[in-house]
Structure 1
Amino acid sequence: MIPSFDLKETAHFFEDVLAFRRARHDETYSILHKNNLTVHVQRAGAEIGEQSFYLEVDDIDLLWEFIKYNVASLRVKEPFDQAYGMREAHIIIPSTKTLLFIGQLIKNKLHT
């Protein structure tokens, strides 16, 4: 579950940038779906801690081409190769203290 300072803005990020669809939304809670993925977002106060989560995809570069203009105003790190065999992009989810890692296994590299 992702705690959010502005539930509406955070839900719109998942809908507008990552093409999730809203299954439930009220003033305190949102549930969003895409394919076999589900994300829960909850309204939170200012004292929430930092967190992160990892979304593994089949083609990070194709996804990046799809979302890069929609995340241009956010704190992001474009796709890059990690020493542990993943190609990743990083996005701070709006109105949260949450870092979204989006990654893809680099072919011919093993996790260490």
Structure 2
Amino acid sequence: MTRQIASTIPVLASLDIDASIAFYGERLGFATAARYDDYAIVRRDGCEIHFWLCSERRIAENTSCYVRVADAQKLYEEFSRNGLQMQPPVIQPWGMKECHVIDPHGNLLKFGEDLPGRSSPAA
């Protein structure tokens, strides 16, 4: 069977495109791939996130994205060095070591590392 779906890309609400680009670049290490008046794309390590300009904070505050990572602890340490105040990673019952970030607009980003030998969701 031929694989039909190659990847998923979250599209998050942004109250200010420039502020989103700055936060994701300075705090999370993403590079700007594209910038338009009401849309932006950032990338890091094969991960791509899009932003659309939105005037309603409640939309962003009810949005989240899950990002699988190789090492949640190292990412936590990097983000902390970049000035983020966040809790350290926690091992979840579903076999993932996770930490999270809430961006300036309210979007929740969970970063999860699959732990070998633990029950985890199918990849």
Fold shared, TM-score > 0.5 on shorter chain: yes
- Letter paired with 1:71: L
| Structure possessing the higher radius of gyration over alpha carbons | 2
SS at match of 1:68: helix
Which protein, 1 or 2, shows the higher relative CO under an 8 Å CA cutoff with sep ≥ 6? 1
Unaligned 5+ residue runs, structure 2? 1-10
Find runs of 4+ consecutive structure 1 residues off by over 6 angstroms. none
- CA displacement, residues 1-38 of structure 1 (integer Å, 9 cap, x when unaligned): 11111221111121112211111113311111223221
2:88 and 2:19 map into 1 onto residues whose CA distance is 22
Is 1:2 aligned to 2:12, yes or no? yes
Is 1:64 aligned to 2:73, yes or no? no
Identity, in percent, stands at 24
2:19 and 2:110 map into 1 onto residues whose CA distance is 19
Q: Give the aligned partner of residue 98 of structure 1.
A: 107
Q: Is the 8 A contact 1:78 1:89 kept in 2?
A: yes
Please tell me the root mean square deviation across aligned C-alpha atoms, in Å.
Answer: 1.6
How does 1:1-112 map onto structure 2 within 5 Å? 1-46=11-56, 48-49=58-59, 50-69=62-81, 70-72=83-85, 76-95=86-105, 97-111=106-120
Q: Is the 8 A contact 1:3 1:48 kept in 2?
A: no
1:98–1:47 CA distance, 2 compared to 1 (3 A): closer
Structure with bigger strand share is 1
- Letter paired with 1:54: Y
